[in-house]
Structure 1
Amino acid sequence: MSPAYFGLVMATGIVSLAGFMLGYTSLAFALFYLNIGQYSVLMVLYGVRAVRHPRRFFGDMIEHLIGPGYFTVVAATGILASQFLLLGGDTSISLALWGLEILLWLGLTYTIFTAFTIKQDKPSLDRGINGGWLLAVVATQALSVTSALLAARLGQPYRLELNLLALSTWLWGGMLYIWMMSLIFYRYVFFRFSPGDLAPPYWINMGAMAISTLAGARLILNAPDAPFLTSLLPFLKGFTVFYWATGTWWIPMLLLLGVWRHLYKRFPLEYDPLYWGMVFPLGMYAAATFQMDEAMAFGFLAWLPRGFFFIAAAAWVITYFGMLRRLLRGLLPARDVKHG
């Protein structure tokens, strides 16, 4: 079982939230209820895997290429908390998930990166890093978004503290992106690149910037209730646009690399759990652009989030169908043996 399978919850959740923002409430609520079930099932499966295969479960955490996939559980928890808050209107469940999100973020951040630092046998840069590392940024910014949303709904004395936490994690996520993206871009242009190296998590290059944009927009909207945010408004607005512009730049680049991978190099296109790492950025870009357009009062970007929402929804349907097909295909041999 892939450590990054909570990308399913991330993708479903952000398509639901984007749909809710854009007025597609029936679809948003349907995906919300589906996401509750998916999150619950995956939590049980991960728990069973940890108990039955502890060496493999915890060993995956310290593997350079797959360990950062565990950060999907942090981001998924934060996105589900946001769904409960915005769609369900349930502050108590959102607070409980937010508390779990913090514990998971602390545990995974310091476990994974401490292990990467002190382990004796380490891969070379071209064999040890990919876009999946940026899931650590996504997890950090998901915590910022959840904290900012809760701050907007809770009264004092917690509002200021939550906004400070949201601001701090937003800034740390941005710094972490700069560190990691420098290494990933260096790997891009100075090492041999094969189609197999271009795994779907490279779309997190854009997704990490999109969720950073969303978190920044939430901080701008929260500024009237937090004086220290008001004093930082020019900085918040400047960096929010900076994140959005960076994420936007990645979209044509990733499309060109996808064409090179699948059309020119004829790399087979088949379902992989990692493809949820491509659906999520598309939905997040729609939600982030909508929120930034509202926070900055632009008014002329309204068409962009709606277009990306439809693209994200189509990608979600295709990937979900591929997942169901893979699951059914896995069950058929067992049935054949049973009736043979």
Structure 2
Amino acid sequence: MEPVKAGGNGRVSRPLLARLFNPDVETLSPAYFGMVMATGIVSLAASQIGLRGVAWLLFGVAGVTYLILWGLTLLRIKRHPRRVFLDLIDHLRGAGFFTITAATGILGSECVVLANWVGMGIVLWWAALVLWLVLTYSIFTAFTVKTQKPTLDRGISGAWLLGVVATQAIAVLASLLAVHMAPPQRIALDFISLSMWLWGGMLYIWLMALIFYRYTFFPFSPSDLTPPYWINMGAMAISTLAGALLIKNAQEAGFLHSIAPFLKGFTIFYWASGTWWIPMLLILGFWRHIYMRFPLTYDPLYWGAVFPLGMYAVATQRMAEALELDFLHLLTSGFALIAMAAWLLTFGALIYRLVRNPG
């Protein structure tokens, strides 16, 4: 790191300012929008336990971060288009681009839930849908037609489940918007939400089978247990949230009401699957950092571990309301507080990294 210099008037030297305002974006992680995902959902988790001030503060952080990351991403596309393309078709890094779609959907959900900005929610929903279409068929087509492919143990990780999260983020926002629409548009949004919810569930089953197979039948080192493995739980948590919103919308949508038992059964199925992962991931984290002494340092991928904690709190709360399971409310409050603590730790580590290495 180059030294920080200051003149007699206390102004920061030109080299440091150049790095701050003209950052090196070549190696920017495609998954950095996970920070927006994590901040947005922790904001909603804070709101549901009565911390409205914290919720609005995090809402502002999510919005500003979203704009900054889009600026950096566009700058990276302009300066390093080949590097961006190689990341897009890379088995380990490509799935990180799905954080852009998920972040757009979650930010839209914040606009609707916290601020009642339905118009902005609609704009972000359409943006998320277009991003989902482009990224889904670009990434999975590239993975399919590549001539040189990694083996399963080197080519798949929990980050692949970000495709599920992106899909369910669109379903969640569609359900939230449907409540504010007239019957024709409302039915269409509920149908799209149901379709995306079902597709996200099917994609999870496909991918989780491969991930679990990789877990149990290939050598597993501490470096293999990257933070996005928490998406194993987070993908089920957001699927639970989407299902809970569909159950609530079924009161006004006849076609949803006719399949209400199916919606309720699968929503609990998703929640139970996600809950099963929590102890498993904690045990693996203990094995990685305590038993194997793998260093715990800041990585943008850690936002992918904060997001599932906040999503579990919000999803459990919504499911408890939809199914009248009042005994779950204590669980939602506990996870909301845990998610806020995890967000603070990760954000603090980010600030420390930026101070140590500006630009």
Structure-1-length-normalised TM-score: 0.97
Partner residue, 1:285? 312
Q: 1:102 aligns with which of 115, 124, 129?
A: 129
Alignment of 1:234-273 (within 5 A): 234-273=261-300
Q: Cα deviations across residues 177-208 of structure 1 (Å, max 9, x unaligned)? A: 00000000000000000000000000000000
Residues in 2 aligned to 1:38 and 1:121: alpha-carbon distance in whole angstroms: 36
Q: Within 2, Cα distance between the matches of 1:53 and 1:323?
A: 24
Alpha-carbon displacement from aligned partner over 1:293-335 (angstroms, at most 9, x marks no partner): 000011111100100011000000000000111111112xx9x
Larger Rg over CA atoms: 2
Matched residues in 2 for 1:214 and 1:295: separation?
A: 10
> Deviations along 1:139-192, whole A, 9 cap, x unmatched?
000000000000011112100000000000000000000000000000000000
Matched, 1:40 2:61: no
Cα distance in structure 2, aligned partners of 1:51 and 1:121: 27
1:119 to 146, 153, 167: 146
Alignment of structure 1 residues 181-196 onto 2, 5 Å: 181-196=208-223
Give the fraction of aligned pairs with identical amino acids, expressed as a percent: 61
| 2:171 aligned partner | 144
Aligned to 1:173: 200
- The one-letter code matched in structure 2 to 1:279 is V
Q: Which amino acid aligns with 1:285?
A: Y
Match of 1:68 in 2: 95
Q: Which amino acid aligns with 1:17?
A: L
Select the residue among 323, 333, 353 that pairs with 1:306.
333
In structure 1, runs of 5+ residues without a counterpart are 335-340
In 1, the alpha carbon distance for the partners of 2:109 and 2:50 equals 17
| Cα deviation 1:210-243 (Å, max 9, x = unaligned) | 0000000000000011101001100000000000
The aligned counterpart of 1:319 is: 346
Q: Deviations over 1:229-278 (max 9, x none)?
A: 00110000000000000000000000000000001100000000000000
Secondary structure (helix, strand or coil) at the match of 1:20 reads: helix
Superposed CA RMSD: 0.7
The one-letter code sitting in structure 2 at the alignment partner of 1:90 is: W
Scaled by the length of structure 2, the TM-score of the pair is 0.92
The one-letter code of the counterpart of 2:274 is G
SS in 2 for 1:57: helix
State the match for 1:30 in structure 2: 57
